[in-house]
Amino acid sequence: MKNLIHSVVFLITVLCSMTVLGAYEEVVYAQVGQTVHLKPENGQIKPYMYWNWNGIELVHRNSLTGWATPNAEKWKNRVTGTDNGLSITNLEEGDFGTWTLAVLTDKTHEKSTIYTCHLFRITVSMKSVPPLLAGEPLTLDCNTATPPKNKNPEIYWVDPQGEEQRGRQVSIPKATSQHSGQWTCFVKNHHKESGAIISVAVVDLAPGPSSYQFTSKSSGLTIPCSLPSHVTWDQLKEKGLEEVQWLFSPKPPGDLSNGPKLKLYSLSLETLQWEAVQPRELDAGTDVSKGDLSLSKRKGKEKDAGDYECMMKFKTLTLKTSVHVEVLRIIAAPGTNLTSGQQLNMTCSVGAALPSDMQLKLLPPVESLSHLQQNSDHSSTNVILPAVSTAHSGRWRCELWQGGKKLTSEVITLKIEYKLSVWMLVVICSVVVIVLLLLILVFIFYRRRQRMRHPGHQLCRCNHPKPKGFYKT
């Protein structure tokens, strides 16, 4: 009976000792390359503390020398013991396993484990070979191990736009450029979350901020097309790149699928130089190696209106983007050389309906004419002058605006002359006749005075003139 009482007392003492020491066990998830801090809850600083990895002692502390650094090259400068826990930087594949913290008990001076951490690796992977082409399927997997006695953790994904997708796997039938960026797999276990990151690169042709471009005879033209900066031409060739071209469909028709397509440029994949086919006065960019595939022109023309297609053909699919170009025009009817009093109909148009956030402004040569009424719709603005005057002469400007930004402008010059009435013609003719008569009278008067000053000698007009001298009669 006495032995039984001693046994019960000993058992209670051990249980109390475990409670006081606060033995704690947890599961931590991390990705290779990350930093992990192992921190026991309610941990107490003891004179002698020992950190072990899979039963191997790595770091220890004593009251005299403090924390010792691991001697093994594998752990040196990566594993650091502190009074608050253990820090493991730049995790490697061999770092995962069971980490324990043991201390020397005050009474028995034996090592007792007060903290156990099961460190598991989060593995994220993409099935396709990067980079992805727009239109290819995107599949991401997130996997990790779990101790047999523990509940499986909750796993979900967060895409580059910050939207959540539940489950270990993300499957997208056709990837787009919006799927490019950083994807994060979160593993949630007992209200603690750990994240693993994977970067996804989706190659697509970028047309620019808008699929519409506007130009005029007074403005330049740039037709944008580019590749993501993180993609190299060697990667594209490995994905089966066959050709890169610029195609053009004149207006009309506006539908690329039905209209005739003219090949403007073709890219040599060996030299990365553009080869002109039918350039139509368009210049190809010189920074092709940096992904710039744009076309440009110093001054636009009406023939530039139409649809431009930047195309990149691979073995499995074709990437392309289209840019619709409209030319801003000012039309003055009946013309730009007018006579005062004539009617003028001036129209500023791009030849197509404009988006609701765009507007046309027709500006007269002087501010005093800004009161003129303009008739506008979704595609043009119009000014009708019943009778023009010389005040309307000068440079008229048409501008296309979107928000607070001027996209393009066009200028036309009006030459307006005075209109001569019948009465004005009679007066002018009368003045001319009077001036001519005065000139004639002045000329006659002048000639008469000349004759009076120098009278002429009378000459003998005899049939048989005789020489001068004395004659005998």
Indicate if 257 and 353 belong to the same structural domain. no
Q: How confident is the model at residue 21 (pLDDT cuts 50, 70, 90)?
A: very low
What is the band of 15 on the pLDDT scale with cuts at 50, 70, 90? very low
Question: Who has greater pLDDT, 205 or 110?
Answer: 205
Which residue among 397, 417, 437 closes a domain? 417
Query: Has residue 67 been placed in a domain?
Result: yes
Mean pLDDT (whole number) for 98-122: 85
- Domain boundary pick from 376, 394, 417: 417
Q: How confident is the model at residue 3 (pLDDT cuts 50, 70, 90)?
A: very low
- Whole-angstrom distance, CA of residue 179 vs CA of residue 161: 8
So what's the pLDDT on residue 195?
94
- Provide the CATH number for the domain around residue 145: 2.60.40.10
Checking phi first, is residue 304 left (phi over 0); if not, alpha (psi -120 to 50) or beta?
alpha
pLDDT at 42: 62
SS3 91: coil
> Does 109 share its domain with 62?
yes
| Structural domain of 162 | 123-202
Asked, for residue 425, whether it belongs to a domain, the answer is no
Residue 373 is predicted with a pLDDT of 67
Contacts of the segment 351-356: beta carbons below 8 A, 24+ positions apart: 351/251, 351/305, 351/326, 351/327, 351/379, 352/254, 352/326, 352/379, 353/378, 353/379, 354/378, 354/379, 354/400, 355/212, 355/402
Position 236 pLDDT exceeds 50? yes
382 band by pLDDT with thresholds 50, 70 and 90? confident
Q: What are the tens digits of pLDDT across the range 306-324?
A: 999 999 999 999 999 999 9
Average pLDDT, the chain: 82
Per cent of the chain over pLDDT 70 is 83
CA distances from 453 to 132, 446, 448 (A): 111, 11, 9
Confidence tier at 421 by pLDDT (50, 70, 90): low
Instruction: Give residue 363's pLDDT.
Output: 85
Q: Is the pLDDT of residue 234 over 90?
A: yes
Structural domain ending residue among the three candidates 327, 350, 381: 327
Confidence (pTM): 0.69
In this prediction, residues 216-226 reach a mean pLDDT of 91
Q: What is the average pLDDT across 192-219?
A: 87
- 406, part of any domain: yes
Residues 53 and 140 both lie in one domain = no
* Number of domains observed in the structure of the chain: 4
Residue 172: C-alpha distances to residues 141, 167, 425 (Å): 12, 13, 84
pLDDT of 458 strictly over 90: no
Res. 283: pLDDT tops 70: yes
Residues 319 and 224 placed together within one structural domain of the fold: yes
Q: Which pLDDT score is estimated for 164? A: 94
Same domain, 217 and 309: yes
What confidence tier does 60 reach under pLDDT thresholds 50, 70, 90? confident
Residue 255 has pLDDT above 60, yes or no: no
Q: pLDDT tens digit string along 140-184? A: 999 998 877 778 899 999 999 999 999 999 999 999 989 999 999
Q: What is the average pLDDT across 370-389?
A: 75
Q: Decide if 384 is inside a domain.
A: yes
Look at 308 and 426; give whichever has higher pLDDT.
Answer: 308
Within-domain flag for 361: yes
Per-residue pLDDT, 361: 86
Q: Is residue 460 part of a domain?
A: no
- Whether residue 267 has pLDDT greater than 90: yes
Pairing of strands 241-250, 212-215: unpaired
Q: Which range has the worst mean pLDDT, 1-15, 57-71, 177-191, 238-252? A: 1-15
> Which contiguous run of DSSP H or E holds residue 304?
none
